Amino acid sequence: MASEPRPPHNHILRSLSAEARGRIYPHLRLTPVSHGTVLCEPGHRMRHLYFPTDTMVSLLHVLENGASAEVAVVGNEGVVGVSLFMGGESTTTRAIVHNGGHAFRLSAARLKREFDRHGELHGLLLRYTQSLITQMAQTAVCNRHHCVDQQLCRWLLLSLDRLGATELVMTHELIANMLGVRREGVTDAAGRLQKRGIIRYRRGRITVLSRPGLEASCCECYRAVKKEADRLRGMDRARAQHARTGG
Amino acid sequence: MASEPRPPHNHILRSLSAEARGRIYPHLRLTPVSHGTVLCEPGHRMRHLYFPTDTMVSLLHVLENGASAEVAVVGNEGVVGVSLFMGGESTTTRAIVHNGGHAFRLSAARLKREFDRHGELHGLLLRYTQSLITQMAQTAVCNRHHCVDQQLCRWLLLSLDRLGATELVMTHELIANMLGVRREGVTDAAGRLQKRGIIRYRRGRITVLSRPGLEASCCECYRAVKKEADRLRGMDRARAQHARTGG
DNA sequence: ACCCCACCGTGCGGTAGCGCACATAGCGGA
DNA sequence: TCCGCTATGTGCGCTACCGCACGGTGGGGT
């Protein structure tokens, strides 16, 4: 890697001990990824594992008729390409970049080598994968039981958390593709949120004016996913602490 | 374990080499599990990993208002309790047994010991987990885009595969809870299937008369999940073969 | 043999979201 | 400055599903 990682770093990389960093960092490459880039195509073997720093990536499933639905969102708390260490080598999901930015990437071979040491990275990646599983499961339930208005709030909150900004560059059309609903449905829902002063938007830019308002209008799904993700990250920290104090 | 495992064995256990079996089998315990047993409660730490042999287990998420939806089905192709090796120690899903039968169970400690060898079981469990992820993701999309009629077919097919029988002991009410829809919706859909001669049912027993008919009425989701599961199991077999021929 | 309860059938009004069609309006480029 | 494309607003009929209510029925327990 050319330079020391910048502030908007990746949480998994950050959780590594100095020793593990020493092994891994030299093989990381900070790669620019732009809006719309497809990091993973269904059935294709990935060549790198990506550690996003300041980008947000959607994992979505596409149906035969072209309809789609997002199953999870990844930001700098995770990685794109879990099939590389889960052993399947490819997935059925497409990974597409929303807000452009940067990601560290690690070649499949280097990843395998480090993962097979069964050390820190192994634990961090598997625990993150469990967090991803939780997100997918909750998405399934949310798709079943909650209305578009609530789901839009959930999606905005997940995005806010991953982008660390209050403005999203995102059209209604794109959000509709992510949620798997009609564009008009998103326009309606967004219009209601705007009328209530919770968000403001114009031509592809959405500004969140009141995060508490969003949270109040959201279904429990956002909270459930966040709570479990926090719990799992807490376990990461506890383990790191334990290792440092020489347990 | 008291006796040699019976024919309806678990595929993951079956895929182990003689050597790995030698280490693991002595610690397995064939446990009867009955209809309705909850193997895993949200937030609770599991004490055993379960390898179903002739039972079918639903993984479901329950919402605050009591509404629920199944996110995946597990049979003798997999295990219940992936959080034990994924590192989270608990999950947000509930695992509930449908058709009673038997499962081998392995204590959390023994599992950890074997998993940490980073050998065969490690690979098998992670690859199965990827298959589970695929199922959850597809469920999310199916919940979004497909109607109850199609989802009922999907569910019946998934159940058939896991039970290895053409008769299911299952009420409309229970299926409705799994799919996250109204009981009446299931009654309607099942009535239509019966009228078309694809299934027959009475008071809690459903008999599948035409599997091809079910497959034709089903959305692509069943096929997609099965295809990916088969691919992943094929990789298991290839690895086992490779190991035997001393690669 | 009976009874009762769990299971299934059916109807009704209400609503969320769909598919389609078309009107309006920013914003970037020539 | 104007043009054209893309993004958003809105309306309409339709369907699937919901929540509720109640009627019928089969099968197991006593």
Query: Could you report how far apart the first and last alpha carbons of chain B are, in Å?
Result: 32
**Interface contact B151, partner A, CB < 8 A:** no
In contact, A81 and A49? CB cutoff 8 Å: yes
Q: For residue A8, what pLDDT is reported?
A: 58
Q: What is the 3-state secondary structure (H, E, C) of A77-125?
A: CCCECCHHHHCCCCCCCEEEECCCEEEEEEEHHHHHHHHCCCCHHHHHH
Closest CA to B22 of B121, B118, B166, B107: B121
Q: Tell me which chain A residue has its CA closest to the CA of residue B224.
A: A92
Q: For residue A246, what pLDDT is reported?
A: 67
Q: For residue B8, what pLDDT is reported?
A: 58
- What the block records as the tokens of B161 is 């595969």
Q: Is the CB of A144 under 7 A from strand C?
A: no
Q: Strand order in A167-169's β-sheet?
A: A167-169, A205-208, A199-202
The per-residue b/e assignment along B166-185, b for 16 or more CB within 10 angstroms, e otherwise, is eebebebebbbbbbbbeeeb
Q: Residues 111 to 130 of A: which have CB under 8 A from any B CB?
A: 116, 118, 123, 126-127, 129-130
Q: Which residues of chain A lie closer than 8 angstroms to B138, CB-CB? A: 61, 92
pTM for this predicted structure: 0.95
Q: For residue A93, what pLDDT is reported?
A: 97
Closest CA to A58 of A170, A166, A220, A186: A170
Task: Mark the ranges of chain A whose per-residue pLDDT is less than 70.
Answer: 1-8, 246-247
Q: For residue A142, what pLDDT is reported?
A: 98
Q: What is the pLDDT along chain B (247 residues), one digit of tens a residue?
A: 444 444 459 999 999 999 999 999 999 999 999 999 999 999 999 999 999 999 999 999 999 999 999 999 999 999 999 999 999 999 999 999 998 899 999 999 999 999 999 999 999 999 999 999 999 999 999 999 999 999 999 999 999 999 989 999 999 999 999 999 999 999 999 999 999 999 999 999 999 999 999 999 999 999 999 999 999 999 999 988 888 786 4
Q: For residue B208, what pLDDT is reported?
A: 98
Which nucleotides of chain C does any protein CB come within 7 A of? 6-11, 16-21, 26-27
B145, B220, B224 member nearest A69 (Cβ): B145
Task: Convert the pLDDT of each residue in A141-199 to its tens digit.
Answer: 999 999 999 999 999 999 999 998 899 999 999 999 999 999 999 999 999 999 999 99
In contact, A97 and A55? CB cutoff 8 Å: yes
In contact, B52 and B12? CB cutoff 8 Å: no
CA separation for the pair B57, B102 (Å, rounded) = 11
